Structure 1
Amino acid sequence: MDQAQNNKSKRIPPLSIRLTEEERVLLEQRAGSLSLAGYIKSVVFADGAPRYRSHRQTPELDAKLLAELLTHLGASRMASKLNQIAKHLNQGTLIVDPDQDGDLKAAATEVAWIRSTLLQALGTKS
């Protein structure tokens, strides 16, 4: 085990501090692109502080996949259909026949496809 892993495993529980809303905003402004924890450590420990990542990583977007996803969502009217299902569930009037069972399974498949496509478009691992 190298020194960095050894240090991380021996860390004590986190320290908590309460701030006013104004103090939090000021702290975030001063931190800039650093994480709040990284900024606080760099201020508190000044010269002896380890260097932290300078900015948060943002995923690369795949515009073509996002456009395809939005087109698919608009064409499917899925939100309206799911709202109708929820309404009938809440009223206790949802009766599922074989056709509706197939429709519900198809909707679940579409939701799974949308989720995986969205994660792919955002550059996130599923």
Structure 2
Amino acid sequence: MPEHTPKQTSPFCLRLTPEERAQLEREAAGLPLGEYVRQRVFDENRIKRRTRNKHTVKDHQILSQLLDELGRSRLSNNLNQLAKAANSGLLILTPEVKTALLNACADIRNIRETLMKSLGLDK
């Protein structure tokens, strides 16, 4: 005789202190708490996050440094000016323009490396 499996789930109530609930919510990282607990208890390997990719910034000082570099570099303004000149046929590759392009590339590289480090993705 086949085993009878209930079609509906049975509710389960658990009392938590505010600190315990906060910890559980942090660990769940956006996953519904019931699903997170069920997966942790019954199948740890099955945890699937339904939220957008959320990276925890390990070091807010690094993020501040990134924003500072971005603001100081005037990167978007400089690249926009170069793009306008190129589109209008006015871009002549003088030593100054070449230096500006190389500086823009270096700024982009520094910003990328800083961002990767802040997200814990550094080499």
TM-score bracket relative to the smaller structure = 0.5 to 0.7
Contact 2:66 2:111 in 1 (8 A): yes
Match of 2:90 in 1: 93
Paired letter, 1:60? T
Paired letter, 2:118? A
1:104 to 1:51, Cα distance in 2 relative to 1, 3 A: closer
TM-score relative to the length of structure 1: 0.55
TM-score relative to the length of structure 2: 0.56
**Residue 105 (structure 1) aligned with residue 102 (structure 2):** yes
Q: 1:60-111 CA distances to partner (integer Å, 9 max, x unpaired)? A: 3021011011111111211111111111111111111012212211211111
Match of 2:78 among 71, 81, 104: 81
1:54 shift after superposition: 5.0
Equivalent-residue separation in structure 2 for 1:51 and 1:118 (angstroms): 30
Q: 1:29-52 CA distances to partner (integer Å, 9 max, x unpaired)? A: xxx728xxxxxxx9xxxx9x8951
Identity over the aligned pairs, expressed in percent?
A: 33
Paired letter, 2:112? R
Match of 1:10 in 2: none
Matched residue count: 83
Please give the secondary structure, in 1, of the residue aligned with 2:46.
coil
Match of 2:31 in 1: 33
Paired letter, 1:121? S
CA RMSD of aligned residues (A): 2.9
**Residue 52 (structure 1) aligned with residue 49 (structure 2):** no
Contact 2:60 2:118 in 1 (8 A): yes
Please give the secondary structure, in 2, of the residue aligned with 1:86.
helix
Match of 2:112 among 106, 111, 115: 115
Task: Point out 4+ residue stretches in structure 1 off by more than 6 angstroms.
Answer: none
1:59 shift after superposition: 2.9
Structure 1 gap ranges (5+): 1-31, 35-41
Structure 2 gap ranges (5+): 1-29, 33-38
Contact 1:69 1:114 in 2 (8 A): yes
Match of 2:22 in 1: none
1:114 shift after superposition: 0.5
